[in-house]
Structure 1
């Protein structure tokens, strides 16, 4: 650990080493996080629930295990936050909605990801914010208000895992677990200058099943790729409650990164800056081009490609908004102006009014688009190991807006063209920092996305780690 660093800025890998050597105790690390949350969370609004008593208790138990040489693994004693879409025993899961009440449930069940974190000895600090039911690409809700970007509090943190990204970027949580149904891990990771990974669908089990079906993934949000791999190993594995869950991996991703990986000789990389239909801000384009240059310098064979895709947003909308309509229907008639629509996010009500009434034929047509896209990507990965795109076409825009102020569309998908296609295909995709955009006078992070073939999560992690090692990120500290 750098002497100039405080413990809350250490990575999970650094904390594990410090706990093992006795240089740090989980108790002092958790105390420092809790103190920082007290000071900074009112401005950032990343946490919607903090349980200092439980965190301190769990930190003390972890410290005792480390003293006795019985640590449960590399996350034992590491502070973690949980997106408020995951069931967490002892804490209400209110999903950013006024339609839910803490008294509605006894809250006795852990989602698989939460259970795995507890089993690994991680210290759960609390729950972090989400837009209502995780429906959009920024994080504000009727229940919790606006979550802000630690790099500039007038900018959005992105979403829907914006609370997770803001907590990690602000040093209020070493790690966080988020969900991604259309970019909800990768968008806020890009905006907040951290690492966010959407694994292959089924790699991290989900329970209860997401209303967004097989679009929805769970995954790690961290400050380094190495931490991402360690956390993925903890979260991955079979859970009988998720009928899509993959078998527990026999090889650890962290071990893959433990071997020499900086040399990318033989790695075949395709580069599509727009997927055929996107448009990037100039600095995002320059930063992504610079990433490509680094990959080439590391020995990768980089090939610019023109995919000439048509935007599949219409098919995505059918699948996505069919899910959210089902969620809202459970609370009453969504068209009833005196009912549920008075309590929900106005933007959500308007979006459902634009995207509703889909038929079974519509759903099957959208599924056909999804299948064709999956076939095309499968064919692409016969020739290329990884596809590179920008993570988002812009840096973070004004907080409190669903879309940039100059947007011609009210749909959040209009400014996230590079994320939702890979929810349709279920592929692994990671976002890592690519630099900054200071064109607006404030330096804001930008991100690059690496996409791999299904079940080739380790290849994606390897390329991301090689790039990160070659260009150490200056985006590690969003708010001091």
Structure 2
């Protein structure tokens, strides 16, 4: 029973609570048992609170027994990325600059909505320092590893969330995405990661990365992603830039299918280069989309890489964060962050405006593209997961994490909804992700297409090997 509960989705757990086949206490204990069994190897959690979690689960169980569940997620074990304020728990952001002492009396909007809907919060998951890069290691928490191969990275910056969900340590987690930080780890670990349209999920405090920053779900199924979106997209007055509350459920239309949908396929956005196993898996997935009735056309976008503009916006935000800790802060942060800030420094107001102009041009081009195509399909990443503890793959010609994530950050610049779903494995048994991108504010369209693809296969049902087997695969 415990093993089955470890792999149950949030949607399945809620149905089991309703029928009284399973209690929230059992589901929460299963998540805690999975952490006990696996997290010494994975290092996905920076805080676990079994006592308060079981107390919350018992309260949820009592509500279900009275047929009075609270909201949409009553009793679902839930982890929170350690960039998001969580009442009663410190938010340390992977940094030695932060202190556990303080007044931790507020929830971030997504956390507040999950709590109001009865979710059982049981822990916080790891992030690189201030979420600055596409892998998850930090001076405070160490290296987070990939459940499919402990020698490999889980990706980042929501790497703790993805590793936890992939290994059955809770059915879902809420993460953030400023350049791929939900989709990168989802692609590397074989789970679902959804970055909604900017402003759909309110954020507070304001992100130092400004309007690049999104929050969203990391789950094992598209259905769970839609369910979490129904919760965390509700309004919060603290975010002045958030959009209006959705008027329909994100689950609406999940069964609509793909027949007649016009889909553009770009294997490289015009400037990327893919690992052969990734290329093969993604092309197979695109063929499945066509077999499901989509009208797929491979296109050449002819783009040049917008990474320089992205760097201006991204590293300006990162520098502002560190600057806030006063003189000498750079001596106490991740040395690779300090080096990156040195490389990407001296930006002017003119540079910022030029970067914004690149962003606006890219947004216009995507808007025009979506007049012809309802969706754009790309690989989530051009490569499988590489060595844990490294910012870039061995032999990389660049020190920047953006060099190996060319397909994610453009859609933070444009603020579009984008999802990563598992679409296969490499010869070494590492997951490959497929990215679906839609027009701004057409999040339900993206989720519907992802659900159709998920329903045509079983990639989302694959599970990592057990701890002993993991230790003998490619781990050194």
Q: TM-score, normalised by structure 1?
A: 0.96
1:377 matched residue in structure 2: 366
2:164 is equivalent to residue 167 of structure 1: yes
What residue is the counterpart of 2:411 in the other structure? Answer: 422
* Matching residue of 2:203: 206
* 1:292 match: 286
Which of the residues 37, 40, 46 maps onto 2:38? 40
Paired residues for 1:74-153 under 5 Å: 74-103=72-101, 105-153=102-150
- Check the 8 A contact 2:86/2:107 in 1, yes or no: yes
Counterpart CA distance in 2 for 1:297 and 1:146 is 41
- Name the Cα RMSD after superposition: 1.1
When residues 32 and 304 of structure 1 are mapped into structure 2, their CA distance, relative to the original with a 3 A threshold, is same
Paired residue for 2:189? Answer: 192
Deviations 1:35-59 (A, max 9, x none): 2212211110000000111100110
Return the alpha-carbon distance in structure 2 between the equivalents of residues 110 and 122 of structure 1.
Answer: 13
Which of residues 324, 335, 344 in structure 1 aligns to 2:333? Answer: 344
- Is 1:28 the counterpart of 2:26? The answer is yes
1:446 alignment counterpart: 432
Distance 2:3 2:128 in 1: 32
Q: Is the 8 A contact 1:169 1:479 kept in 2?
A: no
Query: What is the 5 A alignment of 1:239-258?
Result: 239-257=236-254
- Residue aligning to 1:271: 265
- Mapped to 1, the partners of 2:200 and 2:432 lie a distance apart of 27
Residues 165-191 of structure 1 deviation map (CA, whole Å, 9 limit, x = unaligned): 000001111100000000000000000
User: CA–CA distance in 2 between the matches of 1:478 and 1:130?
Assistant: 21
Superposed CA deviations along residues 85-119 of structure 1, whole A, max 9, x for unmatched, are 0000000000000001111x210000000000001
Note the alpha carbon deviations across 1:273-332, whole angstroms, 9 max, x for none: 000000000010011101110110011100111001000000000000000100011112
Whether the 8 Å CA contact 1:12–1:74 is kept in 2: the answer is no
Q: Displacement of 1:72 after TM fit?
A: 1.9
Cα deviation code 1:208-243 (max 9, x no counterpart): 000000000000000000110001111102211101
Residue 69 of structure 1 aligns with which residue?
A: 67
Residue by residue over 1:354-381, the C-alpha shift from the partner in whole angstroms, topping out at 9 and shown as x without a partner, is 0011000000000000000000000000
Please, which moves more after superposition, 246-255 or 16-25?
Answer: 246-255
Equivalent-residue separation in structure 2 for 1:42 and 1:265 (angstroms): 46
Q: Structure 2: how far apart are the matches of 1:205 and 1:81?
A: 18
Q: How does 1:360-399 map to 2 (within 5 A)?
A: 360-399=349-388
Q: Out of 341, 355, 359, which is 2:344 matched to? A: 355
Counterpart in the other structure of 1:471: 457
Cα deviations by residue, 1:406-436 (Å, 9 ceiling, x for unpaired): 1100000000000000000000000000100
Q: Which runs of 5+ in 1 are unaligned?
A: 334-338
How many residues align? The count is: 466
Aligned to 1:336: none
Unaligned runs of 5+ in 2: 467-476
Of 243, 256, 263, which residue of structure 2 is paired with 1:261?
A: 256
TM-score, structure 2 normalization = 0.96
- Poorly superposed stretches of 4+, deviation over 3 Å: none
Cα distance in structure 1, aligned partners of 2:43 and 2:357: 40
> 2:448 and 2:2 mapped to 1: Cα distance?
29
Cα distance, 1:475 vs. partner? Answer: 5.0
How far 1:341 moved relative to its partner? 2.4
Task: Name the counterpart of 1:409.
Answer: 398
2:425 is paired with a residue whose SS is strand
The Cα shift of 1:256 comes to 2.4
